[in-house]
Structure formats: C-alpha cells, structure tokens
Amino acid sequence: MDPYKYRPSSAYNSPFFTNNSGTPVYNDNSSLTVGSRGPVLLEDYHLIEKLAHFERERIPERVVHARGASAKGFFEVTHDISHLTCADFLRAPGVQTPLIARFSTVIHERGSPETIRDPRGFAVKFYTREGNFDFVGNNFPVFFIRDAMKFADVIHAFKPNPKTHIQENWRILDFCSHHPESLHAFTFFYDDVGVPTDYRHIEGSSVNTYTLINKAGKAHYVKFHWKPTCGVKCLLEEEAIKVGGTNHSHATQDLYDSIAAGNYPEWKLYIQTIDPDHEDRFDFDPLDSTKTWPEDILPLQPVGRLVLNRNIDNFFAENEMLAFSPGTVVPGISYSDDKMLQGRVFAYGDTQRHRLGPNYLLLPVNAPKCAHHNNHYDGFMNFMHRDEEVDYFPSRYDPVRHAEKYPILPTVCSGRRERCIFDKGSDFKQPGERYRSWAPDRQERFVSRWVNALSDPRVTHEIRSIWISWWTQADKSLGQRLANRLNVRPSI
C-alpha cells in the first residue's frame, strides 16, 4: 500500500537539489539573467521546468465528490459468509485485507466547507489477493433517482446555478417535482443526517444492489451497510454555522487527528440478501435505488469490521489521485440489473480516465497489490517498466494463460429493447414510514427545513402544491403541517 514504493530513487536519495532529470541545481533562489539587473534568459531550463510544473500541478477535480479526505487501514472478516460468496477476501473469519477509504461531500467544489447539507460519499478500496474491490457508496441508503439516464440532470439541479454559481432551492425542487421517487432520499437530505458531525460518525451504504455468487454458482442480491462503532452524530443548523465558521476543513482534521492520536475509527459491515428467485414476494423492486430493504423482513447479517489506523502520507497522491469505480469487483461479487448501478459501472471509470488518464490504475494508490498481467500498453502516464516483446494474446512465446474459471452470474436475459419505467410499489410508503419513526422534535426540524426550501421566492405555486401533495400522500399530518405553514391547500 506504500505509494512511495515506486518512487524514482533520485526523489529521495540525493543529498542535494536536482531538477526532474537528475541534474544538480546549485542555485534554486535566483533566475538566470543578463547581468544582475538584466532580463531573464529563456535558456534558464530550471526556471522554465519549475514554473511549467507548478502551472500544471492541479488536475481536474471530480465532478462529484470533489471535497474529501482519506485514510488507510484494514478489513477483518468476523463472520463466515462463504456460503454466499466465493470472494477470497471474505473466505473465513480472521482474514484481514489492507484498504484505503475516502469520505466526501457530493455537490460542491474541492475547497468547499464540510458542514454543508449534502450526502456524504463512503468509498473503500480493498487490496485483495484477487485484485481490487471498490466499494463506492453514500451515507444515505437511497438515491434521488432510479435510472442513470437522469444522473447528470439531478447533479446539475443540485449544483450551483450556471448563471450565478449559487446553489438554489428552486432548481432542486423544480427538477425533483418531476420525480416522486426522490421523496425517500429527501427524508435523509432534509433530516438531521444531512449534516454529519464529521466523517467518523456516518453510516455507509452501497445504495445500489449488487450480487454475491458462491462456489456453486448460486447468486443472491446483496446490499452492504457500514455502521460506525462510535454511533451516528449530526450537526444542527446553529452548530454547523459555528463549526464551519471556525474551520471549513473540520471533518478532514477530525479524521486525521483521531487516527494520529490512536483513536482509530471503526465500522461494522453488515449485508442484506435476497434470493433473486424470491424478488416478486416483495412490494418493492429490490433493484430500485430509491427503496430500502425493510430490516424486519430482511435482517442485517454481520460480516466484518473496518478499522482506519494509518493516515495518508500525501494528500494529492492518496486522496486526489485515488480513484474508485463500482465496476471494480472481484470473483464472487458482481453487479445486478439495478439501472443506476449499470450506468455507474461505466461512468465512474470513464471520469477517472478523464481526470487521471487511461493508465490511472497504474498509480500506486490505485494499483492492485497482487500480481497482474495484461496488454494495456502505452498512452499518457504509462510509467510501468515493460520489456516484453509480446503484447498480444495468445502467444506461444509468452507462458501467460487464462485464470482458473470462477462462477459468474447465471442470469438468462431476454426481452424486447425498449426505454421504459419499471415502477413497482409506492414511492410514498417508505418516506412516510421513516417520517413517522422520528421523535416529535426531529419531525419539527424536518418540517422547518422543508418550509424554508419551499419558501424560496422562485418556487412557483404549482411546484409548492406538488410537494405538499406528495408529502400528504406519504403522511397526511406532514402534508397538513406544510400546507398550514405555507398557506397552501393540499390537492389530495
């Protein structure tokens, strides 16, 4: 996991300054000029190299999850789930796997405050013996939409107005007023958990549905859940203003300081599983990323624990160049037909190729720690030393062979090509249940946040009426409270 394992020797062995090509630098304080007061010469290669590198030392920030912090640690299996998956790193209790985790906000820029109301990203890269497995989730267990076709739109709606560069409620409420499935995610967004105390006190969820496959080839749908051992904690509005006004990087500092002090953050991993043969038994679609799986009928099953016990050594190398993709899986863990996941499998890797180049998986923080071999040659930033003469497969001059076969999804796909909405179950049931599970003071805070959002002067009467109607369908008393506060009559 050491990102400096592959550093050029000159980067740390030389007792004196050099340029990038290793040439000694005897004066790093003064430019080469014509006389002491004359113009600077273009032939001052060291000056030009230094400035040129400085001007290029920033890379494109992530379109989403730009603001984040990372730490390293390990995952330890505590419960046997080998009957569900043949994944090597989950093979038995006691097995440990090194990892790096990244926590983030979603919408705003790399330098934005960490106290904003926003989902938090929860991503973990496992360096397994069978290659890397990227867990890429959020602290909310649901998302605002169920089809990747609308992913760019929902992100655009939440991002700042392209004209003013100000995030505005009317844009969010306008777009989502066309998508009632967003209601469930809003019970998290405008709930207390919308502003976590820090990264150590958040839950994590896969949001999307994956598939576990065992040695016999039997598949089960699965959702992953991380539960912090120190509990979930949130900042209320006044607290967030105070904390953010004091330190806009409070969560990054808290994570770093906690680990440095030996107070290692820990999460327990749980899963929920569904036999695909039984999915029609439920009143919701298990592949719908706007729905949760009720724990009373699909209980959480313990799997293991994640411990972060080492801070990163360099923020750029191990946070900015750290790249995740839901497409990065290992034998025994695969995808499902979840429409959001299907889009993410392509999009996440593609955005990393844009940010970091086609060889981003050669960067030490992203590279697998097991032996690997392929014919992906050349391109930008390919710094891997290769002296093979054969860059094709198969070849009688190269002994490399196919890996041993492992089980893959046995699903048989058939049907007519079409663009359609598969909508099973109510979009209002789960939001209403979640609202009714809260204490009265928590309900009041939720209502107040919605009143504030719907009071935006650019929110039209039509949009306001739609939202009150929807919340009334979720919970009649909630809709009535909003209607009374906003002086709008529910349309249902």
User: Known catalytic residues?
Assistant: 65, 138
Q: What's the CA gap between 116 and 251, in Å, rounded? A: 11
DSSP helix/strand/coil, 447: helix
Number of helical H runs and strand E runs in the chain:
12, 10
Token pair, residue 43, equals 């032939």
DSSP states along 55-109? HT---PPPSSS-SEEEEEEEEEE-S--TTT---GGGSSTT-EEEEEEEEEESSS-
Residue numbers belonging to the annotated binding site for heme = 348
- Of the candidates 226, 237, 186, 223, the one whose C-alpha atom is nearest the C-alpha of residue 202 is 226
Pair 80, 38: CB distance under 8 Å: no
Sign of CA dihedral 141, 143, 148, 154: negative
Peptide bond before residue 196 is cis, with ω within 30 degrees of 0:
no
Pair 137, 103: CB distance under 8 Å: no
Token pair, residue 116, equals 């904003």
Token pair, residue 79, equals 């419960």
Q: What's the CA gap between 196 and 240, in Å, rounded? A: 9
- Give me the amino acid identity at 258: S
Q: What's the CA gap between 282 and 184, in Å, rounded? A: 18
Residue 158 neighbours by CB under 8 Å, 6+ apart: 106, 107, 167, 171, 172
First-to-final CA distance of the chain: 57
- In this structure, the number of other CB atoms found within 10 A of the CB of residue 21 comes to 8
Q: What's the CA gap between 11 and 369, in Å, rounded? A: 22
Q: What is the dihedral of CA 443, 244, 67, 102, to 10 degrees?
A: -70
- Of the candidates 196, 75, 190, the one whose C-alpha atom is nearest the C-alpha of residue 139 is 196
Per-residue burial over 65-84, b = 16 or more CB atoms within 10 Å of its CB, e = otherwise = bbbbbbbbbbbbbeeebeeb
The Cα-based distances of 7 to 52, 356, 363, 469 in angstroms read 21, 18, 11, 60
Pair 482, 471: CB distance under 8 Å: yes
Residue numbers belonging to the annotated binding site = 348
Q: What's the CA gap between 448 and 444, in Å, rounded? A: 6
The total number of residues shown for the chain amounts to 492
Token pair, residue 57, equals 């030392």
